[in-house]
C-alpha cells in the first residue's frame, strides 16, 4: 500500500464513522490525546507501533480534510522535504530539562 492508498483507506474509515465535512482541527485535537498515549507507551517500554500509527493516521486525516480528498500525498512528502531543508539551515539547541530540541530564533 502506498501513501495515497493509505490516505484513501483512512478517509473512508473516518468519513464512515465520524461523518463528512468535518473540520481538520478535530483530528488534531484527538492527536493531542494520542501523543500522550504514545509517550506513555514508550516510557513503559511497550511496543508503541499502534500508537505511532494512531498519530500518523490522524495527521493524514487532518491533511486530507484541509486540502481535500483528492490531494496527492506527494504534497505532504514535498512539504516535509522543504521543511527538512529549512531545518538544515537553522541552529539547534537541546533543552536538557525536557529533552526537546528547539531552533534558535
**pLDDT per residue over 87-98, tens digit each?**
999 999 887 777
C-alpha cell belonging to residue 41 = 507507551
| Reported CATH class of domain 3-103 | mainly alpha
Written as one string, the DSSP assignment of 15-40 is: HHHH-SS--THHHHHHHHHHHHHHHH
Angle (CA) 73 75 78, round 5°:
120
Supply 53's cell numbers. 500509527
Q: Where are the domains of the chain?
A: 3-103
Inter-residue contact 56 to 10 (CB < 8 Å): no
The CA-to-CA distance between both ends of the chain, in Å, stands at 39
Residue 77, pLDDT score? 98
Q: What is the per-residue pLDDT across 35-88, written as a single tens digit (0 to 9) for each?
A: 999 999 999 999 999 999 999 999 999 999 999 999 999 999 999 999 999 999
User: 102: which residues sit within 8 A by CB, 6+ positions away?
Assistant: 92, 93, 95
Amino acid at each position: 500500500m502506498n501513501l495515497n492508498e493509505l490516505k484513501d483507506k483512512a478517509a473512508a474509515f473516518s468519513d464512515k464513522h465520524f461523518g463528512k465535512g468535518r473540520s481538520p482541527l478535530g483530528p488534531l485535537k484527538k492527536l493531542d490525546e494520542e501523543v500522550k498515549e504514545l509517550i506513555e507507551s514508550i516510557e513503559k517500554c511497550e511496543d508503541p507501533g499502534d500508537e505511532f500509527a494512531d498519530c500518523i493516521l490522524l495527521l493524514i486525516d487532518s491533511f486530507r480534510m484541509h486540502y481535500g480528498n483528492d490531494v496527492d500525498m506527494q504534497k505532504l512528502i514535498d512539504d516535509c522535504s522543504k521543511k527538512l531543508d529549512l531545518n538544515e539551515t537553522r541552529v539547534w539547541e537541546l533543552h536538557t530539562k525536557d529533552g526537546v530540541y528547539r531552533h534558535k530564533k
